Amino acid sequence: MGLAVRPRFLACGDSAVTIEFGTEIDDGINALCLAFDEALSAAAFPGVVESLPTYRSVFVQVDPLVIDMPAFETRVMELLDGLTTDTKAARRWRIPVVYGGAFGIDLEDVAAAHGITANEVIRRHSERVYRVAMLGFLPGFCYLSGADQSIALPRRTDPRLKTPAGTVSIGGVQALFASVEAPSGWHLLGRTPVRNFMPDRDPVFLVGAGEEVVFQPIDASRWDALDAAAAAGEPVAELVAP
C-alpha cells in the first residue's frame, strides 16, 4: 500500500537535499521519515552519500559529481509509492536519571513555572514512553517525541555555554538526552550516567532513531557507581521489553 504523502524537495546547495514530509513535530510524520530513510539506505542510489532522518524530514548528503538529481527525485517518489507502515516493535531502553539538585539545576524553576512540585515534574517526565525522533546536533544527542506538554517551557532566552554530558532536558515541546558537554538553551531536569556515544566502545552508539526510551528516577547516591560503570564501557541503560 502506497502512502499519499508528497514530500517537498528542499535544495541544500549542490551536496545535499532535504526531503521534507512536514513542518511540525508529529509521530506519524516522524515514522514516515524513519521508514523512508530505511528504504533509501536499502536502495543504495548512486551519488547518495548518507542520510539523516529528523522529526519531519530526511536530509540526504549527495556527491555532486555523481548524483543525477531528476533521476533521484523520481526514485524517491517510487520508494514512497512502495513504502508500507513500519509495524516492527522498537527496542525500548530504560535510562537511569538523577533528577534535580546539581544534576538538574532547572527542575525547581520548571516546577515553579507550572505551579507544581518538583516531584510532580519528575513524575510527569519519567512516566512517559518517548520515541527517539532523531539524533542530531552533536554525537549521540537523542531528540525525543512524546514529551508531556503540561511541563513544557519555551527555551531559555539566555543559553548556557556549557551543560554537562548526560544532561536530560526539555525545551519548547521537545525533550532531549545529551551525550557530550554542549551549549544549551534548554531546561535541565536531571542527568544520566548513560553515555550514548563512546568512540572506543562497541557499539559506539547505544540508542538510535526510532527506538524508545523511558527514564527511571534514581537516587543521587547511586550516581558514582553507575557513572564509573558507564565510563568503563557498561551500557548502564537497560533494554526492556516494550
Partner 1 sequence: MTVLKVKDCGAGTSIQDGGRFGYRRYGVGSAGAVDRIALAVANMLVGNDQGTGAIEFTVMGGSFVVEGGPVRIALAGAVADLRIDGEAVRPLTSATAEPGQTITVGPAKAGTFMVLAVSGGFDLPRDLGSQSFHLRAGLGGVGREPVKAGQVLVVNGAPMGPDLTATVPPRVHAGPFRVVLGPQDDYFTAAGIETLVGQPYVISPQADRMGYRLTGATIEHAKGFNIVSDGIPTGAIQVPGSGEPIVLLADAGTTGGYPKIATMISADLPRFVQNRPGSEVRFEIVSQAAAIVAAREQAAMLAAVLGGLKAIGPAFDPEALLAANLVDGWVDAHGRFDLATGNT
Contacts with partner 1, residue ranges (CB under 8 A): 10-16, 18, 20, 23-25, 37, 49-57, 59, 61, 64-65, 67, 69, 134-141, 143, 172, 179-182, 197, 199, 204-205, 208-209
Q: Of 113 and 174, which CB lies nearer to partner 1 in the complex structure?
A: 174
Minimum CB–partner distance for residue 180 and partner 1 (Å): 7
Minimum CB–partner distance for residue 66 and partner 1 (Å): 10
Asked whether 127 and 206 are in contact (CB, 8 A), the reply is no
Q: Of 40 and 151, which CB lies nearer to partner 1 in the complex structure?
A: 40
Backbone angles phi, psi at 194, to 5 degrees: -65, 130
Q: In which element (H, E) is residue 143 found?
A: strand 142-145
Residue 104 grid cell: 538538574
Asked whether 132 and 210 are in contact (CB, 8 A), the reply is yes
DSSP for 3-63, written as a single string: -----EEEEBTBSEEEEES-SS--HHHHHHHHHHHHHHHHHT-TTEEEEEE-SSEEEEEE-
Minimum CB–partner distance for residue 67 and partner 1 (Å): 7
d(CA 230, CA 132): 21
Minimum CB–partner distance for residue 78 and partner 1 (Å): 21
Minimum CB–partner distance for residue 18 and partner 1 (Å): 5
Q: Of 101 and 154, which CB lies nearer to partner 1 in the complex structure?
A: 154
d(CA 46, CA 52): 17
Burial of 133 (0-12, 13-18, 19+ CB in 10 A): buried
What separation in angstroms does the CA of 178 have from each of 87, 174, 185, 201?
A: 28, 13, 13, 17
Q: Of 41 and 216, which CB lies nearer to partner 1 in the complex structure?
A: 41
Minimum CB–partner distance for residue 71 and partner 1 (Å): 13
d(CA 67, CA 70): 9
Minimum CB–partner distance for residue 208 and partner 1 (Å): 7
Q: Of 146 and 172, which CB lies nearer to partner 1 in the complex structure?
A: 172
Q: Of 103 and 143, which CB lies nearer to partner 1 in the complex structure?
A: 143
Q: Of 88 and 162, which CB lies nearer to partner 1 in the complex structure?
A: 162
